[in-house]
Amino acid sequence: MGRVSDKVAIVTGGGMGMGKTHSEMLAAEGATVFVTDIDETAGKAVVEGIRAAGGKAEFIRHDVASESDWTAVAEAVRQKAGRLDILVNNAGILILKPAHETEPEEWDRLFGINVRGVYLGIRACVPLMKDNGGGSIINISSIYGLVGAPMAGAYIASKGAVRLLTKSCAVDLAQYGIRVNSIHPGVIDTPMTRDLLHGDPEARAAIMGATLFDRPCKPEEVSQAVLFLASDESSFVHGSEVVVDGGYTCN
């Protein structure tokens, strides 16, 4: 217990799925968590649950593709907490189409959230981290940032961009004591994938793909990796890819 005590964290897309479990686990381990999400109802419910369990959390409505929203989030954290130690760029969306069938508007929307949102988050939050001598930025990519797959051209391109943006920022931010790493989850049982995993058996087999364990990943199993990278236990982990995929990418 207390692995991130007295630290301050932002978790984007914290209202559901992995973001919810990231927020809950960081709070349970002592962090003050700013849960941000475009869904106010879901985000506030997560905060209420954290507080009911004795943790510290605040909700901020947030469109990660909006520069002005990021400016407001960073200022709110500065005013309310005075510092920032952990940024979890978790918010993301999925479009199941090959690239040649993806409309330009769909491509732009997905990149606006999955890539621009990460860039804007880093841009807005690095000054806060520099002010307190360092921090940890954790970018949620995907196994699809490491390997190709059918029917997900825009998503794969976006997660590959997050992977290499992470490494670039790791080079630039090391001098400030800011660690930057990416996490690459495999197939996760979340609201975004639930219909695929618990509907048609053929769809389940297709999405599970080369996963060696006969089950999808639980969100909290990814959150354990987030907690490790957020804590001082990972003080020499920098510019790395943490893969949580049940063996998918080794098979």
Catalytic residues: 155
**Residue 82 tokens, joined:** 């005075």
Helix, strand or coil for residue 46?
A: helix
DSSP 38: S
Q: Annotate 80-121 with DSSP letters as a single string.
A: HHS---EEEE-------S-GGG--HHHHHHHHIIIIIHHHHH
| Angle CA 164–62–87, to nearest 5 | 45
Separation between Cα atoms, residue 153 and residue 167, nearest integer Å:
22
Separation between Cα atoms, residue 100 and residue 30, nearest integer Å:
46
Separation between Cα atoms, residue 183 and residue 128, nearest integer Å:
22
| Angle CA 92–45–220, to nearest 5 | 55
> Can you say how many angstroms the Cα of residue 133 is from the centroid of all Cα atoms in its chain?
23
